[in-house]
């Protein structure tokens, strides 16, 4: 048998052997899978923090509904509502008067009378915000994102 025939038979034997192919495929696909999983986890954590910021703003309005207007206590309710780091009631809670008409509220003087003959309602606006830093920077978002939420309620 010639050396060329031995070489060709050796190549056929190697190409017929399928052992280890799946290992090589897995090794090639793993970095892509890890990158996709990291991005999904990162966005999931960001959306979770966004929900927590919204819950904190709602906690401030709920406090005002139960206990009445107290700006500092409302701010404390916002910051103590969740464990999100750096959560702040910024800008500070505000109180205003307005006349409801359909689905909107028109600003009015608190001592005035609304067009429907009723007294204006007292509304509070509570804001919450926190800074979210992703696991890795994305060109679209930058190195950090400010998450904000606002909640408005009419109090008695």
- pLDDT of 37 reads 95
Q: What are the phi and psi torsion angles at 155 (to 5°)?
A: -110, 160
Is residue 83 a contact partner of residue 55, using CB atoms and an 8 Å limit? no
* Residue 23 banded pLDDT, cuts 50, 70, 90: confident
Residue 17: pLDDT over 70? no
- Which tokens go with 48? 């979770």
- Most confident among 43-47, 116-120, 136-140 (mean pLDDT): 43-47
| pLDDT tens digit sequence for 49-65 | 999 999 999 999 999 99
Alpha helices in 68-140 (DSSP H): 71-79
Residue 14: pLDDT over 70? no
Residue 120: pLDDT over 70? yes
The sign of the torsion formed by the CA atoms of 122, 124, 80, 48 equals positive
Residue 20: pLDDT over 90? no
**What's the chain's length in residues?**
156
Task: Tell me what the mean pLDDT of segment 28-33 comes to.
Answer: 94
Report yes or no on whether pTM surpasses 0.85: no
């Amino acid at each position: 048998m010639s050396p060329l025939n031995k070489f060709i038979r050796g190549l056929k034997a190697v190409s017929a052997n399928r052992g280890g192919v799946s290992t090589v495929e897995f090794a090639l696909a793993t970095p892509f899978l890890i990158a996709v999983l990291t991005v999904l986890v990162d966005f999931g954590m960001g959306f979770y923090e966004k929900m927590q910021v919204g819950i904190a703003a709602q906690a401030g309005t709920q406090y005002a509904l139960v206990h009445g207007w107290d700006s500092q206590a409302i701010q404390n309710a916002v910051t103590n509502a969740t464990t999100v780091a750096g959560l702040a009631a910024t800008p500070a809670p505000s109180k205003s008067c307005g006349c409801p008409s359909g689905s909107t509220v028109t600003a009015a003087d608190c001592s005035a009378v609304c067009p429907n003959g009723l007294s204006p309602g007292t509304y509070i606006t509570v804001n919450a915000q926190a800074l979210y830093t992703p696991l890795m920077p994305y060109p679209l978002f930058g190195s950090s994102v400010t998450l904000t939420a606002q909640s408005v309620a009419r109090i008695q």
